[in-house]
Amino acid sequence: MGKVIIKKLKIKTCHGVNDFEKRQPQLFEFSAEVTCDFYEAAQNDEIAQTINYSTVCKIITAVATQNVFNLIETLASRCAEAILDNFPKATAVKVRVEKPQAPVRAKFKTMAAEAELKRVTAYLSLGSSMGDRKAYLDFAVKELAATRGITVKKVSSYMESEPYGGVAHNKFLNACVEVNTYLPPRALLFEIHRIEAAGERSRTLRWDDRTLDIDIIFYGREVICEDGLTVPHADYANRPFVTEPLKEIAPDFICPATGMRVKDILPSPCGGEEA
């Protein structure tokens, strides 16, 4: 693994909270570190097999000059996203935006913000127990694939299961999806909730029948325990409607919480509580 590094790319453009900053161009300086495997490029001396830093400069320039943002945080984030969108070989990127002429009444060398994104493999569970269940799962897969920052890699077979949690009455249709994403966990969760809402998901009663349910089961090798977000999913191992489709598309994935391979996970005979 290696990095292609660009430092202090100078661009005059308009960004800032104040009205005059949106009209009067000022100097910004951009630095970027793009992580990729350029072993083949080094062996073959072939630019097509690495990250073309000239193209990176053009991407940053386009984002910086074709938009007007209030915050350099937004500017840095949009540049990082655009770089990953244009270079599938890139596994991570860090973009630093400096604003040496920031209108701040203080002595300083520069003001700056950094955005850092990395690609991870995540596994999601899909479920539906109302209406045209297959159509809702198809809709979820299509919407995930159309979301910026998410690439759908694998989709399991659709499997029917009995309701779980003691409230729902209808049988579910379930599946698991492998995605590659540079969205941070909270951003991924936000997009999942957006897709659920677009799929007519109602949250009036916990564990009830629903048109569409999407859960994050794994997010790379991360273990997350936050308000509203637990990864790996707290109860996934007790749910055959999750583990069986997972075994189909990711049998050798190792759960970061338990160290067990997915194919070796057996549901607890006592079951578990749905989150």
Active site residue: 78, 209, 215, 239, which one?
215
In degrees, rounded to 5, the angle at the alpha carbon of residue 260 between the alpha carbons of residues 236 and 88 is 80
pLDDT tens, residue by residue, 88-122: 999 999 999 999 999 999 999 999 999 999 999 99
**Residue 12 pLDDT exceeds 90:** yes
pLDDT for 168: 64
Would residue 208 show up in a list of annotated catalytic residues for this protein? Answer: no
Peptide bond into 232 cis (omega under 30): yes
Q: How confident is the model at residue 170 (pLDDT cuts 50, 70, 90)?
A: confident
Contact status, residue 119 vs residue 91, Cβ threshold 8 Å: yes
CA torsion through residues 125, 130, 132, 135, sign? negative
The one catalytic residue among 96, 133, 209, 213: 213
Where do the CATH 3.30.70.560 domains begin and end in the chain? 120-264
Average pLDDT value over all residues in the chain? 92
* Among the four given CATH numbers 3.30.465.10, 3.30.70.260, 3.30.70.560, 3.40.50.300, the one describing domain 120-264: 3.30.70.560
The one catalytic residue in 78, 119, 133, 210 is 210
Confirm whether 105 is a catalytic residue. Answer: no
Per-position DSSP letters for 223-239, written without gaps between them: -EEETTEEES-TTGGG-
Q: What is the pLDDT of residue 266?
A: 80
pLDDT score for 235: 87
Residues with Cβ within 8 Å of 257's Cβ and at least 6 positions away in sequence, in order, are: 223, 232
Is 148 labeled as catalytic in the residue annotation?
Answer: no
Model confidence at 167: pLDDT above 70: no
pLDDT computed for residue 203 by the predictor? 58
Buried b (16+ CB within 10 A) or exposed e, 109-140: eeebbbbebbbbbbbbbbbbbbeebeebbbbb
The pLDDT value recorded for residue 268 is 57
Higher pLDDT, 76 or 162: 76
Sorting pLDDT into bands at 50, 70 and 90, what band is 242? very high
Q: Where in the chain is the domain with CATH 3.30.1130.10?
A: 2-118
First and final C-alpha spacing in the chain: 38
pLDDT at residue number 210: 82
For 12-43, letters b (16+ CB in 10 Å) and e give ebbbbeeeebeeeebebbbbbbbbbebeebee
Q: How confident is the model at residue 270 (pLDDT cuts 50, 70, 90)?
A: very low
pLDDT at residue 169, as a whole number: 79
Q: Let me know if 215 is a catalytic residue.
A: yes
Of the options 3.40.50.300, 3.30.1130.10, 3.40.50.1820, 3.30.1180.20, the CATH number for the domain spanning 2-118: 3.30.1130.10
Q: Tell me, what's the pLDDT at 161? A: 86
151 vs 204, higher pLDDT? 151
Contacts of 150 (CB under 8 A, 6+ apart): 144, 179, 180, 181, 183, 188, 191
Maximum C-alpha span of the chain: 67
Residue of 138, 201, 208, 261 with catalytic role: 201
